Amino acid sequence: MSAELRKHIEEIVPLTDQEFDFINNHFKTKSLKKHQYLIQEDEFVKNIYFVVKGLLKATYTDINGKEYIIQFAMENWWISDFQAFYNETKSITNITCLENVELLYISKAHLDKICSESHKMEHFFRVKNSSGYVALQQRILSLLSTHPKERFEQFTHQYPQLLQRVSKTIIAAYLGISRETLSRLSSKL
Amino acid sequence: MSAELRKHIEEIVPLTDQEFDFINNHFKTKSLKKHQYLIQEDEFVKNIYFVVKGLLKATYTDINGKEYIIQFAMENWWISDFQAFYNETKSITNITCLENVELLYISKAHLDKICSESHKMEHFFRVKNSSGYVALQQRILSLLSTHPKERFEQFTHQYPQLLQRVSKTIIAAYLGISRETLSRLSSKL
DNA sequence: CGCGCGATTGAGTAATTTCAAATCTAGTGG
DNA sequence: CCACTAGATTTGAAATTACTCAATCGCGCG
């Protein structure tokens, strides 16, 4: 029984106790320690994960071994390799824990089941996905139209908590700039 | 009665004639000529648009007057300022026609209505939104991890039709590089 | 105390941008 | 059919920006 998940869903759709029980029964829990892998490259991705506690990063590593941050996930965020999950293909990303984490997760079959049996949940995920889409468009626009300095300022403003919890090196990999450049930038603020 | 829309929806959910009629009745049609605006900066955005025929671009213009392409939309794609649409705020983008265009459109109220009255449509848009999300993650990864040359090659491979229909200047604005750089790049292929 | 990781700093290099000018192309009207 | 124009593309050269590589610093922890 996860109060966090219920509260998260009810920000979009109110639920009866029965409805929430039904939903909740399709989730399982998982705990991981800092540095552990949630998803590794080349694996099939069976689940999406809801973060109850902790912080993770999803990364892509190029042929030169350079790492790029696709997304972070902290409390009340969802994370997975969504491409691999939806298409039922192998992951090209790694997801690792930046802190100890507590997760809830649901398989694709169960997700499809609760969505088809509960119109409310179908609605919930439609709305979540559309918000996510808009957020990614914003990130694209930021990558296209702003210089590193401005991008870092936007990030600082948008995710002040992450600034506390994540190393600058990793933030640089999220913003698409080198750690040295980010260092020079942040000393100028 | 739009055969294109029906076919598009039925790629994800099969519909009876009655169901499609119900859905179709909530859409209206609109035609625009090349160069005309579909959405202008600072307007409220009441609708999302399904492209039956033609090609459009959604752009953001920065304080220096430089233009960045947020998205293209051609046949069977959806377009709007989704941020403004979902949040019911004013648009910060312009959407203009790169060709003569035939559109179907639906308001937020009607969209919410057909989704709440038809579980199938709620499902359809959930799936569409999740595919869109994955596509944007791919674009972000491409912006983060690849050089202009590789990015252009990916684009060429992914959207060969757009290469024919859109000027290089505009493609450069989509890829986040200057038109001169793109020109130098494409001569090296 | 010393190790290790992250952050910082400096110097040189590589890539892309900017600005300006030249070239090419398609459409229009005479 | 040709000349003309507007827009798009290409080319060149200089300037800028961020990157790479290497060395150093700083701090927390065993």
| CA dist., res. A135 & res. A154, Å (int) | 13
Backbone angles phi, psi at B73, to 5 degrees: -150, 125
A61–B contact, CB cutoff 8 A: no
What angle in degrees, to the nearest 10, is found between the helix axes of B108-117 and A119-145?
140
A176–B contact, CB cutoff 8 A: yes
| CA dist., res. A107 & res. A97, Å (int) | 20
Q: Is B154 exposed, middle or buried (0-12, 13-18, 19+ CB in 10 A)?
A: middle
* Torsion sign, CA atoms B120, B126, B129, B131: negative
What pLDDT, on a 0 to 100 scale, did the predictor assign at position A187? 85
Strand C nucleotides, any atom under 7 Å to a protein CB: 6-11, 15-20
Q: Identify the bridge partners of residue A53 per DSSP, sorted by sequence position.
A: A102
Residues in chain A within 8 Å Cβ distance of B136? 133, 136-137, 140
Mean pLDDT of chain B: 96
Could you tell me the residue ranges of all domains in chain A?
Answer: 2-108
Instruction: Please tell me chain B's helix, strand, coil percentages from 3-state DSSP, rounded to the nearest 5.
Output: 50, 25, 30
Residue B43 has pLDDT above 80, yes or no: yes
pTM for this model (two decimals)? 0.95
Q: Match domain A2-108 to its CATH number in 2.60.120.10, 2.60.120.620, 3.40.190.80, 3.90.100.10.
A: 2.60.120.10
Instruction: Work out if A184's Cβ lies within 7 angstroms of strand C.
Output: yes
Q: Is A179 exposed, middle or buried (0-12, 13-18, 19+ CB in 10 A)?
A: middle
Arithmetic mean of pLDDT, B164-171:
95
Amino acid identity, position A103: L
Q: Hey, what's the torsion of the CAs at B110, B116, B121, B124, to 10 degrees?
A: 110
Mean pLDDT of chain A: 96
Q: Work out the minimum CA distance from B146 to partner chain A, whole angstroms.
A: 9
- Write out pLDDT tens, residues A1-42: 689 999 999 999 999 999 999 999 999 999 999 999 999 999
- Write out pLDDT tens, residues A68-97: 999 999 999 999 999 999 999 999 999 999
Residue B128 has pLDDT above 80, yes or no: yes
Arithmetic mean of pLDDT, A128-149:
97
- Write out pLDDT tens, residues B49-93: 999 999 999 999 998 899 999 999 999 999 999 999 999 999 999
Q: Give Cα A181 to chain centroid, integer Å.
A: 26
- Which one of B45, B122, B150 would you mutate to disrupt binding with A, by most A Cβ within 10 Å of its Cβ? B122
